[in-house]
Amino acid sequence: MSDMVADKVVVITGAGSGIGMEFALAFAAHGAKVVVNDLGRDAHGNSAAESVVTRIRELGGEAVASTDNVSQWDSAKHIVQAALDSFGRIDCVVNNAGIVRDRFFFKMSLEEWQAVVDVHLNGSFFVARAAAPYFKEQASGSYIHMTSTSGLIGNPGQANYSAAKMAVVGLSKSIALDMARYNVRSNCIAPWAWTAMTASVPTDTPEAAARMEKLKTMEPRKIAPLAVYLASDAGAGVSGQIFGVRANEIYLFSQSRVIRSVHRSEGWTPEGIAEHAIPAMQTFFYDNVPSPQLTTWDPL
């Protein structure tokens, strides 16, 4: 392996399994010192974070475990502090921790909404904010946030997850703008991969079942090279972007921009909008379809 992120200190949340674990292994293989954060435990009660740390050390890498909760302000600070205590600095935060509580919007409970928002959105803010003073002081740093096509495009039965993942995009953009003067960048990755989290998504229709079968061919390890690049010095000029990784494909997603406007010098009435504005813009409307309908080709 290369030394593309040699001696950089990286905090990865949700790194005990799935995509986060592959991130941790890849960063360590490319020379980084890794804080593996995860609350999870295996069937025998062993810490998932400790298990990944053991694997990294057996392969000659450097890593420490953190079992603090991203969704609490104080415990999120402890995750960043683990990097400082163990390695003396912090260079990158990968906000990967996530859960799903899928249910149709009209049946979703407050608890299901709050739990997902707390982990994905609040957790991303809390950990990112904890690292910000150190990035600012050293005039360098990289944030990598995991978003999803469920937010970027849409998916049924995931109002909580979709809202949180789209909010993470806004958070990332704000960080990129606010911290550009300090040479700190912030980007998003939307991953396609088969993990324990995606395995829990309901497959109650033939279309959903077919999508899951396709998803099983997309390996979590395929996401990691882009994250390593974005954290490296080679990625220093890349900020405020939204990428996607699907097997061997890397996507760059569009961002919201004005695409059509209409004007009346005398101003608008509801009737005028119905007669003129909407018909003038309607051919530019986006179809109300879920994300799988826009990636219909097999992964490469």
For the annotated catalytic residues, the residue numbers are 161
CA distances from 186 to 8, 74, 94, 202, 300 (A): 16, 23, 10, 32, 27
pTM of the model: 0.92
Digits of tens for pLDDT over the chain (300 positions)? Answer: 679 999 999 999 999 999 999 999 999 999 999 999 999 998 889 999 999 999 999 999 999 999 999 999 999 999 999 999 999 999 999 999 999 999 999 999 999 999 999 999 999 999 999 999 999 999 999 999 999 999 999 999 999 999 999 999 999 999 999 999 999 999 999 999 765 555 555 556 666 666 666 666 788 999 999 999 999 999 999 999 999 999 999 999 999 999 999 999 999 999 999 999 999 999 999 999 999 888 888 887
Q: 188: which 2 tokens?
A: 């998003």
Phi, psi at 167, each rounded to 5°: -65, -35
Q: How distant is the alpha carbon of residue 120 from its chain centre?
A: 8
